[in-house]
């Protein structure tokens, strides 16, 4: 009973050891025939998205953002992204929004009452949007 069993014998579809794995090649941004980024990619880079959690919080707390506020929020995301921010607290019209900057996604939202004595964690920057 001194036979050795290799991983391949037990799990024929198992992944090879980490040292021999190839790292996936990152695909370039898809472009249209003219070499320009696709329209959908441009839209994703310019607009702000809201996570399901953030949408629920906005409804629960009666927060409604106007188009001008969304535009200001988008510009603020651009500013903090230029500084290398990853997760930012953004204060907009008496409301606080936590934004995942690389994904341009609002993660959660708080109104003025919920912000009272609230500790914000896991953020690396803050901006007050006027």
pLDDT digits (tens, 9 = 90+) for 30-76: 444 455 566 555 555 568 999 999 999 999 999 999 989 999 999 99
Region 112-125 average pLDDT: 91
| Residue ranges of E strands in the chain | 49-50, 87-92, 95-100, 105-110, 125-129
What's this model's pTM, rounded to 2 decimal places? 0.65
Dihedral pair phi/psi, residue 23, rounded to 5° = -80, 140
Cα 114 to Cα 86: distance, rounded to the nearest angstrom: 23
Residue with tokens 């629920």: 56
> What is the per-residue pLDDT across 67-103, written as a single tens digit (0 to 9) for each?
899 999 999 999 999 999 999 999 999 999 999 999 9
């Amino acid at each position: 009973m001194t036979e050795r069993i290799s991983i391949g014998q037990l799990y024929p579809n198992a992944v090879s050891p980490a040292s021999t794995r190839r790292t996936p090649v990152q695909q370039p941004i898809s472009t249209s025939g003219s070499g320009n980024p696709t329209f959908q990619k441009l839209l994703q880079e310019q607009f702000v998205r809201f996570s399901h959690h953030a949408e629920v919080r906005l409804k629960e707390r009666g927060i409604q953002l106007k188009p001008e506020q969304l535009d200001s929020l988008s510009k603020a995301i651009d500013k903090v992204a230029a500084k290398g921010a990853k997760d930012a607290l953004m204060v907009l019209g008496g409301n606080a929004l936590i934004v995942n900057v690389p994904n341009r996604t609002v993660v959660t939202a708080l109104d003025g009452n919920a912000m009272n004595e609230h500790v914000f964690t896991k953020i690396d920057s803050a901006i007050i949007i006027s």
